Structure 1
Amino acid sequence: MTAYRASLTEIDIRRLIQSNDEDERAAAAHKLCRNMDKAELDEHDRAAAHKILRLLANDAAELVRRAMAVTLKASDLIPRDVARRLAADVDSVALPLINFSPVFSDEDLIEIVQAGSVVRQTAVAGRPRVSRDVAAAVAEVGAEPAVRALAANDNADIAESALGRCVDRFGASPEIIAALAYRQVLPLSVTERLVELASEAVREHLVTRHSVAPETAIRLASFARERATVDLVDQASGHADLSQFVATLHARRALTGSLLLRALARGQMALFEHGLAELAGAPHQRAWLMIHDAGPLGLKAIYDRAGLPPRLFQAFRAGVDTWRSLQAEGVDTTDDAFRQQMLERFLTQRPNAPREDLAYLMERLDQDPVAAPARAGVAA
C-alpha cells in the first residue's frame, strides 16, 4: 500500500486534473493506471482507484480515455459500469477493452454483438475466452469478419448448433470454412458438411485430422465419390470394419471396379479382398484363397464372379502381381512407404487402366510426402 500511495504523487494528480495539454494528461493517466494495476490494493485503496478511473473515463480527451483503456484492457480493476461506458465510446477506446477486459459479463458481450458494429463483434469473437452463449450470439448475428475470427479462436466454446449456424450462413466463404476446419475439435456432423464445402487442401486436413467414419465418403459422393473413399480408407484401414464398409458401399452402388483398382494400386489389398468378396457374394476367407492361393486361375474366377469389367482384368492382375512381388522382397506391406512404393511400381508397368484412374494415381504419386524416399528405394 505504501508503494501504491507513493506512486500517486501530487504532481501526477495535478497533471491529471489541471493540465490543459492532452498528451500530458494521457501520460499521467497511463502512469497512474499502470501503478494501480501493479499494486496490491486493500478495500480503501481500491475505492480510491475507482474514483480516479471514473474521473479518467469522463475526461473530454479521447487520448486520455484511450490511455486508460489500453493500460487496463486485461485488468479486473476497472469497475463494470466504467467498462460498459467505455465500450460505448469511440473505437480507439472501446476495442481494447471489448477484446480483453475480464469484467464484462456474457450479457454485456452479447449486447455488444447484437448492437451490430462489425469491428466490435470481431473484438468479442477474438477474446482470450469466449463462452458458449457469446459464441452462439456471434454465430447467429455476427458479420463475416466476426464469424471468421470466432471460427479461428480455439479458446471459443462453440456448440455444435452454433458451428452449424456458421456453416449455414457462410458456407460460401472459403476463409470461414478453412477456419472452422482447422479447429482442434469438430463434431462429426459439422466435419461432414465442411468436407463437402472445403478446398482440396482443407479437405485433406479434415480427413487426416478428424476421425471421420469411412461411411462419410459415401455421403460425400457428390464431389469425388471413389477418390474420397479410398483416401479415407488410407487413414481408417487400421481400425475400420472393412466388411461393413464395403457392404455399405455396395448397397449404395459405390463399390465399383474403378474404386477397387485405385485401392489395389495404392497397396490396399485388404479393401480389394473384401470388395471382391462382397461383389462375388463369397466369404472373405474364400476370396482371400482365390486371390492368393488358388493358382493362376483363382483371381480370374473370383473376378468374373464379382462381375467386374473384363477389360480391366489385366490391370488388376498387374496390381496383385506387384503386391506379391513386394511382399516376396520382405517389404512391410502395412506402412505408408510401402503404399507409395506399390503405387510407383504399379504405374511403371503401364497397366491398361482407364485414363481417369491413371490420372488419379499419378496425382497421388505427386502428393504423397514419402515420394522421394520411395523412389530412392525403387532405384536401389
Structure 2
Amino acid sequence: MSLARSREPADRERLLAGIVDLCDASQVEGCPAAPEVRILLDSIFMTLVVEAERDIRARLAERLADAAWAPAALINILALDEIEIARPIIARSPVLQDHDLIRLLVQATLEHQIEIARRPELSPAVVEAILAKDESAVLTALASNPTAQVSPDGLRRLVDKARDVVALRSPLARHPSLSSDLAEQLYLWVGRALRDALVVRFQLDPDKMAQAIEASLRAVHQGSTAIDTPSLEQDEDREEMEAALVEKLDAAGQLRPGYLLRVLRERRLPLFLFALARLGQFDIRQVRRAVDSNRPELLALACSAVGIDRSVFPTILDHVRQLNGGRPGGGAEAARKASGAFGPFAPDIAAMAFRQAVSAA
C-alpha cells in the first residue's frame, strides 16, 4: 500500500515487479486469476505503465515477453512502444495473436514491421500480410526467417522481388523451402559465391546455367524485354565491392560530401547510395527507400544532413532520376518543394527528420 501511494519512479517499478511476481507465482501454482481479478489486474497495469518512465517500461517488457498470463491490452501497448521496448514483446509474447500482428504491420514503424517478420513460427495469415505490404526491408527479414510458414506461391513472389532487391538474394538462396525451379530463377540474379552454393545444393547443371545467363545478357544488350534481367550494376558482387570501397574511403578520412556528386557524374548510383548512407550514418535500406519513393524531399533531407548545399541538390536529384528510372518521382513541382528540406537547422536535425520521415513513408 505504501508503494501504491508513492509517486517515486523507483517505488512504482517495485510495485510493478511485485505484481508481476505474484502473477508468475499464481501461474506456476496452477491458480489462474478469476475474471474479476484479471479485470482489476488489467486496470492496475495500465494505470502504472502509462505513467512509467522509459527504462521501467523496457524492463517490464522484458519480464512480460514470455508471460502467457499478461494482459492483452498491456502487451499490445508495449508492442507499439519505441522499438527497443517493443522488440522482446514482438519477438516472444504468446499473447500476441495473428490479428494483433497484422494490426501492428499497419500501425507501427518500419522497425516494428521488421521485428514482426523475424518472429518465430509466423502463420500463413501474417506472412501474407507482410507480402501484401511489399516493403523491401520487411520482405528481407521474412526471407531470413526459416520458421515462417511461407507458401510456395509466397516464396515465388519473394524470388521475383529479388530481381530488384539485392538484399533478398542471399537469404533466399539459403532458404530451406527454396525449390530447384526457383533456384534456377534466382541463379540469374545472384553473385558468384551464391551461384556456386546453389549449384552444389540443387545439383544444377553449370553449363545449362551459364547458357541461361548468356541468353539473359544477350537479351539485355539487344534491348529485348522477353527476359527480365537486372542491370549488371545490381550484381551482388559489385555492391559488396562498392560498400567496401566506401568503408575504406571513410576510414582514410577521404569520404566527403563532394564525393557524392562526383560518383553520380560517373553514373555509379550504388556507390552514391552507400556513400550517402555512410556519411549520414543511415541504414542503406533507408537511403534506397528514399530514392525509390515519390518524395524527393526525403533525398533532400538526407543530403542536407550530410552537408550538401541547397544549390547543389537539383543537380544531384537530376542525376539520381536519370540513373534510377525517374525516381524519386513527383515531377518538377515536388523537386521545387524539396528545397524546403534545406531549412535553417543543424545537420543532426535534418538527419533526425530524414529517419522519421522515411520510416513513416
Alignment of 1:110-189 (within 5 A): 110-115=102-107, 117-189=109-181
Distance across 2 between alignment mates of 1:31 and 1:217:
67
Distance across 2 between alignment mates of 1:26 and 1:184:
44
CA offset digits 1:212-268 (Å, max 9, x no partner): 5x4x9636634258xxxxxxxxxxxxxxxxxxxxxxxxxxxxxxxxxxxxxxxxxxx
Give the match's secondary structure for 2:121: coil
Closer, same or farther: CA 50–179 of 1 in aligned 2, 3 Å:
farther
Distance across 2 between alignment mates of 1:217 and 1:114:
46
Shift of 1:200: 1.0
Determine what percentage of the aligned residue pairs are the same residue: 23
Distance across 1 between alignment mates of 2:16 and 2:134:
34
Distance across 2 between alignment mates of 1:165 and 1:101:
29
Structure index of larger Rg: 1
Does 1:97 pair with 2:86?
A: no
Other-structure match for 1:353: none
Aligned length: 210
Aligned residues of 1:129 and 1:156 also touching (Cα < 8 A) = yes
Alignment of 1:212-361 (within 5 A): 212=204, 214=205, 218=208, 221-223=211-213
Aligned residues of 1:151 and 1:180 also touching (Cα < 8 A) = yes
Closer, same or farther: CA 75–178 of 1 in aligned 2, 3 Å:
same
Does 1:19 pair with 2:6?
A: yes
Shift of 1:131: 1.0
Other-structure match for 1:37: 24
Distance across 2 between alignment mates of 1:124 and 1:50:
28
Does 1:210 pair with 2:202?
A: yes
Does 1:199 pair with 2:195?
A: no
Aligned residues of 1:62 and 1:93 also touching (Cα < 8 A) = no
Aligned residues of 1:174 and 1:199 also touching (Cα < 8 A) = no
Give the match's secondary structure for 2:185: helix
Gaps spanning 5+ residues in structure 1: where?
1-12, 226-380
Aligned residues of 1:140 and 1:162 also touching (Cα < 8 A) = no
Q: CA RMSD in A?
A: 2.8
Distance across 1 between alignment mates of 2:167 and 2:31:
48
Closer, same or farther: CA 172–55 of 1 in aligned 2, 3 Å:
same
Closer, same or farther: CA 45–70 of 1 in aligned 2, 3 Å:
farther
1:66 to 52, 58, 63: 58
CA offset digits 1:6-44 (Å, max 9, x no partner): xxxxxxx542x2222223322442353245235324233
Does 1:56 pair with 2:45?
A: yes
Aligned residues of 2:45 and 2:74 also touching (Cα < 8 A) = no
